[in-house]
Amino acid sequence: MISARNQPYRTTAADSDFTENNYLQLLRLAKESYLFSTYRAIPWGTRFILWRHDLDYSISRALALAEIEAGEGVCATYFINPRSEFYNPFEPGPARLIKRIVGNGHHLGLHFDAKFYDIQSEEQLDEKVAVEAQWLTDAFDVELDAFSFHNPVEAHLECHAERYGGLVNCYSRELQTQVPYCSDSNGYWRFRRLYDVLHDAIDPCLQVLTHPGWWQKESLEPRRRIFRCVYGRAQATMKQYDLVLAEAGRVNHGRSIESLNFLESAHGDIFTFFDYLWNKRQFSTLFFELWRIHRLQITQLCRMILLSIWKIAAVQVDRLFNDDQLNVKSGIVAEAVLGPGWRELSGMTEAREETYLTLLNDLTNGRALISESALENECASICKVISTLSEWGQSQPIAYDGIKALAVDGECLDAKAVARCGELWGMDRENDAEQWRKRWEELVAVLASKGFHGVER
């Protein structure tokens, strides 16, 4: 049933299977036909199921599954690899997660990398398993039930004793021959699909192996799942570095954090991406992305004000911004909607905008003659523009930074907020609606005079 000689007949990855929602359904399906058990006391002669996780990539993903299982009253066994190249279970952060897994009522096991020691005998295997098991026992104050091999070769699977190092061997002769097996190794069903196995429920008992890194909130290809695990850990490490300095009141000196910190709390994904590009010195790509965010910010601030303050119908606003002829860089819309002082406020003068457009064109065509340090300075300058407009937008009644995704029809503001907007734009509070409509008609007329047609009054 378990053999290194086995060759898979399934090679198509059922990516949609590997979501948290589907995982929950699998647990419920298993509960209908089997009794969940642990390796500590296998109830031979019953329809038991040994539900096991080998933690190859992610402890945080393991905790997510542990909480789902706890919600279903299910106990699973989580096999920790002290030699993992993807996590360190003894670091404070990962250790806290493992303790939470145990706190959810689950058991721990050892995921043993025999190749690390070049195991040549069962005596050596017995010794090393006992040593690593004690590490985990000491760290988490729990007795381990069992051990499993990490990436076993045929020689490992021929170690058939019931126990090594005092732990149940998941690949013992009895378990290999008497308990049918289903695994999600490599992020797809290499032999039998777990849903089919549980739905048909023809096996008298089961040993199910899943790897938490494969199970995500959404459907992803296997490599993308691992990408998320690996870069999620890297991101957490960088956040920890920033946090330590902040808590100690130390200066976190670095051009990227100094320029991008306004994004970190509200737009973590954008911050992480830009911080990565900055520290990899990929300033050409970063410059393009920052310019894209700047243009998007201008557009969305204008859209928000038109929808929420001027009360222009969404269909009319869409026509304005979907017109291929309309180039917001002309400043016509921005000046009319944000006010004539937006350039001075943000520092994006017409001269600077033209300089940036020229630079973008040169970078696109591979003819930009600008040093790395100079391009870094331009990236920092655009960050300042975006940050300034973000602060301005959040200080206005719209309370919007122009970066966050905007609802299709804008967000509704109360009457006081709309009246305050009128004061800011020099409106007569008694005739706000009429004056906003007039401003809109004036904007449409100016656009028409510039050759931009198709926007309704």
Q: How confident is the model at residue 198 (pLDDT cuts 50, 70, 90)?
A: very high
Q: What pLDDT shows up at residue 414?
A: 43
Q: What's the confidence (pLDDT) of residue 264?
A: 86
pTM above 0.75, yes or no: yes
Q: What is the pLDDT of residue 450?
A: 75
**What pLDDT is stored for residue 7 in this prediction?**
41
* Token code pair at residue 75: 């106990």
Give the lowest-confidence range in 229-233, 343-347, 442-446. 442-446
Average pLDDT for the chain: 88
Long-range contacts (CB closer than 8 Å, 24 or more residues apart) made by 368-373: 368/284, 372/281, 372/283
Tell me the CATH number for domain 15-214: 3.20.20.370
Domain residue limits, the chain: 15-214, 278-449
pLDDT range class, residue 410, cuts 50, 70, 90: very low
Does residue 211 surpass a pLDDT of 90? yes
Give percent of the chain with pLDDT exceeding 70.
Answer: 88
Q: What's the pLDDT score for residue 150?
A: 95
Q: What was the pLDDT predicted at 431?
A: 55
Q: Both tokens of residue 83?
A: 């030699």
Could you tell me the CA-to-CA distances from 269 to 103, 215, 235 in Å, in that order?
Answer: 30, 21, 10
- pLDDT at site 436: 85
pLDDT recorded at residue 420: 47
Binned at pLDDT 50, 70 and 90, residue 405 comes out as confident
